Amino acid sequence: MKLAFSTLGVPGLPLSDVARLATAHGYHGVELRTHPEEPVHPGLSRDERTAAAAEFKAAGVEILSLAGYTRVAAPGDDEPVLAELRALLDLARDLGAPYVRVFPGGPADGAPEEADAVAAGRLGTAAEYATDAGVRILLETHDSHRTAADAIRVLGPVGHRQVGALWDVMHTWLGGEQPSESFAALSPYLGYVQVKDIASGTDTAPLPLGAGVLPLAECVEVLSRHGWDGWLCWEYEKRWYEAAEPLPGLLDKGREHLGRLLNDSA
């Protein structure tokens, strides 16, 4: 499996420094948080996009994904959501990223069936645009659809190869799923896996990998046992937790921890 980290752990860091961190600490790729406060967002000019892609290519670092914030199950009109998603897909195409991340974002007090239908409809509409862009849309296990069982209620009806799943292991665990259950449900759709660690179900501040309670060994074991050979991406949520340790000083130990898990499961 290939290893990446998310720039959510190094908010606002210039792209040259992101690429340098990846190469210095032995990561194959990066997941770029895609937001106006970050160096990468849909407002970039053509020249800025070309320069960003060249920065990572020169460093030998792959852009795994653009982690956008489109909420495909959000209430309201479809067109603003689809326009936001099309802009994200265009940016991914220009940067050479194979994936874009979207959130479910369904209303907390709404009927789940309605949110499922809204999300599936929008993703189905966007799928052909994604095909033309050569980019795959991944629905993250998150918020209103935090478990794999929730996510497949959307992905099943879409039924398009350009729409898949991003498995955030924290959210499926918080939702009460075992890794084997999550993988069994998501495997037909799985793009890549976000790993992280936390102290408990009520304290989700980021910890170094292996220092918390998340079942990372079980996740890696089930992936290896089924011959899955994709990406593991460390999403260290420093952006939301100012007191968390800086990510750069943890990258080596994080890579080593994942390497041990991979060796143990081989």
CATH number at residue 244: 3.20.20.150
The residue ranges of the chain whose pLDDT is under 70 are: none
According to the model, what pLDDT value does residue 266 have? 74
Q: What is the pTM of this model?
A: 0.97
According to the model, what pLDDT value does residue 230 have? 97
Instruction: Give a three-class secondary structure readout of the chain.
Output: CEEEEEHHHCCCCCHHHHHHHHHHCCCCEEEEECCCCCCCCCCCCHHHHHHHHHHHHHHCCEEEEEEEEEECCCCCCHHHHHHHHHHHHHHHHHHCCCEEEEECCCCCCCCHHHHHHHHHHHHHHHHHHHHHHCCEEEEECECCECCHHHHHHHHHHHCCCCEEEEEEHHHHHHCCCCHHHHHHHHCCCEEEEEECCCCCCCCCCCCCCCCCCCCHHHHHHHHHHCCCCCEEEECCCHHHCCCCCCCHHHHHHHHHHHHHHHHHHC
According to the model, what pLDDT value does residue 110 have? 78
According to the model, what pLDDT value does residue 127 have? 98
What is the domain range of residue 218? 2-265
How many domains are there within the chain?
A: 1
